[in-house]
């Protein structure tokens, strides 16, 4: 662009630009003012309360399952927190499982085995070309109607029962962990780790630093377990058993959660698989050949040549895929799992304060998405190409 003479903002072109922008602002502000004015008038005529005071009131609706302890007597604020916790846990579980399954799908799509190739290709096309809502409803119908009732529950492995009431499985937990035992365990673990690291530091020709870290961690774990055993802590297990109406004991996954996790994981895995496959294929055959001519075997070529380069291509679309998973958890509403969106919908029904409810829902999603993007951008910078 040619250098501008001083005071160029007085030129006709710039005056037009400024006028245009001022008109734009005036229009937008006018529209917003009009909408707010309408809203206030409507709220007044319909005598709907406004403000966030309701958050401190008792919610008085149940949440069928919750990661955090919740009772109907808790406040609306706590109901939102419980819903948010459910959403976040669901999103993390779905993201982790679909990444694993997506990796398998990507490998199968690159395989020369016609069975694996055919199966994975049809899977991907089927998942990507039908709405996820339809899939979720299908799985929910299958889980609630296709499975036998509790008295005829399927038991693929002893102690694991699958029925229309959900998935029941044994729960393993620690008993007898008292505070002194825990403190003693932690102290001895720290001591062991410190001694190992100290000895390593003093000897000039020691183990590889990573191996040394592993030894220290293993020693610390052993010390912790030993302290626990000496202190009287032990593992306990409860196995679900059929009582008159339902299983008791063990852990449960409700049909809603089973259908939701199954549906979202399968749907997301198809997209994750295609992202991973695209990343690996984008690296190019020349890199494999280069790795081989350096004398690396296939495994080492993959690990040291292909994967580091593929990761750079994979991470940006993976970020948006994880954000999509987070957004898709709101579909929990259609199968009746109490995530943040369901809690919001119930709150709006109960209080009539739609604006506040939607503002809360939207701000939480904005914050979650921005933090997810920030986190993945940090990961992306770690693996980005170092320009020399």
Interface positions with another protein (CB under 8 A): 17, 20-21, 24-25, 28, 35, 38-39, 41-43, 45, 108, 111-116, 119, 125-126, 128-135, 137-138, 141-142, 145-146, 323, 327-328, 330-331, 333-334, 341, 344-345, 348, 354-355, 358, 361-362, 365-366, 369-370
Shortest reach from residue 319's CB to another protein, in Å: 12
Strands (E), the chain: 161-163, 166-169, 171-175, 234-238, 241-242, 247-248, 251-253
Note every long-range contact of 157-163, with CB atoms under 8 Å and residues 24 or more positions apart, other chains counting: 159/239, 159/240, 159/250, 161/240, 161/242, 161/247, 163/247
Pairwise CA distance, residues 166 & 259, whole Å = 9
Residue number with CB closer to another protein (214 or 355): 355
Shortest reach from residue 337's CB to another protein, in Å: 14
Distances (CA, A) of 8 to 20, 24, 100: 17, 22, 59
Q: What is the DSSP letter of 2?
A: P
Residue number with CB closer to another protein (134 or 225): 134
Pairwise CA distance, residues 249 & 240, whole Å = 4
Shortest reach from residue 344's CB to another protein, in Å: 8
Residue number with CB closer to another protein (137 or 239): 137
Beta-carbon contacts of residue 93 (< 8 Å; ≥ 6 apart):
261
Assigned token pair, 265: 């994981």
Q: Can you tell me whether residue 240 is helix, strand or coil?
A: coil
Assigned token pair, 25: 């602002």
Residue number with CB closer to another protein (16 or 201): 16
Shortest reach from residue 119's CB to another protein, in Å: 6
Shortest reach from residue 266's CB to another protein, in Å: 13
Give the residue among 137, 136, 139 at the shortest CA–CA distance from 147.
139
Residue number with CB closer to another protein (39 or 64): 39
Shortest reach from residue 82's CB to another protein, in Å: 19
Phi/psi for 63 (5° steps) reads -115, 120
Residue number with CB closer to another protein (200 or 324): 324
| The Cα angle at residue 56 between residues 52 and 61, in degrees rounded to 5 | 105
Residue number with CB closer to another protein (188 or 301): 301
Shortest reach from residue 130's CB to another protein, in Å: 5
Shortest reach from residue 197's CB to another protein, in Å: 40
Shortest reach from residue 357's CB to another protein, in Å: 8
Structural contact between residues 136 and 231, judged by C-beta atoms closer than 8 angstroms? no
Residue number with CB closer to another protein (23 or 96): 23
Residue number with CB closer to another protein (150 or 332): 332
Assigned token pair, 249: 């004991």
Three-state SS for 251-311 is: EEECHHHHHHHHHHHHHHHHHHHHHHHHHHHHHCHHHHHHHHHCCCCHHHHHHHHHHHHHH
Give the residue among 171, 162, 159, 150 at the shortest CA–CA distance from 251.
171
Pairwise CA distance, residues 367 & 170, whole Å = 37
Shortest reach from residue 48's CB to another protein, in Å: 8
Residue number with CB closer to another protein (125 or 241): 125
């Amino acid at each position: 662009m040619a250098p501008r003479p001083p005071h160029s903002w007085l030129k006709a072109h710039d005056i037009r630009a400024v006028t245009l922008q001022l008109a734009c602002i005036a229009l937008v502000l006018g529209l917003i003012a009009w909408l707010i004015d309408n809203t206030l008038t409507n709220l007044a005529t319909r005598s709907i309360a406004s403000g966030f005071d309701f958050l401190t009131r008792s919610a008085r609706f149940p949440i069928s399952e919750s990661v955090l302890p919740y009772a109907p007597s808790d406040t609306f604020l706590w109901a939102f927190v419980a819903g948010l916790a459910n959403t976040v846990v669901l999103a993390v579980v779905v993201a982790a499982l679909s990444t694993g399954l997506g990796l398998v799908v990507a490998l199968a799509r690159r395989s020369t085995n016609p069975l694996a190739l055919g199966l994975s290709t049809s899977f991907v096309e089927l998942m990507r070309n039908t709405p996820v809502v339809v899939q979720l409803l299908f799985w929910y119908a299958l889980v609630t109607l296709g499975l036998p009732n509790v008295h005829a529950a399927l038991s693929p492995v002893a102690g694991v029962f699958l029925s229309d009431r959900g998935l029941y499985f044994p729960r393993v937990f620690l008993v007898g962990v008292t505070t002194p035992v825990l403190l003693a365990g932690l102290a001895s673990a720290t001591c062991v780790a410190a001694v190992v690291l100290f000895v390593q530091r003093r000897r000039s020709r020691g183990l590889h630093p990573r191996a040394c870290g592993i030894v220290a961690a293993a020693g610390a774990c052993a010390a912790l377990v030993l302290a626990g055993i000496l202190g009287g802590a032990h593992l306990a297990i409860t196995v679900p058993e059929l009582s008159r109406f339902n299983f008791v004991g063990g852990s449960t996954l409700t049909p809603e959660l089973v259908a939701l996790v199954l549906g979202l994981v399968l749907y997301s895995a198809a997209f994750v698989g295609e992202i991973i496959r695209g990343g690996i294929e984008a690296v190019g055959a020349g890199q494999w050949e280069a790795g081989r001519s350096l004398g690396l075997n296939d495994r080492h070529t993959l690990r040291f040549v292909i994967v580091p380069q593929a990761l750079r291509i994979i991470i940006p679309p993976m970020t948006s895929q994880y954000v999509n998973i987070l957004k898709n958890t709101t579909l929990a509403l259609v199968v009746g799992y109490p995530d943040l969106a369901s809690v919001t919908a119930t709150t709006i029904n109960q209080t009539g304060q739609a604006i506040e409810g939607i503002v809360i829902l939207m701000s939480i999603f904005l914050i979650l998405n921005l933090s997810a993007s920030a986190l993945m951008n940090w990961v992306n910078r770690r693996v980005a190409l170092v320009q020399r």
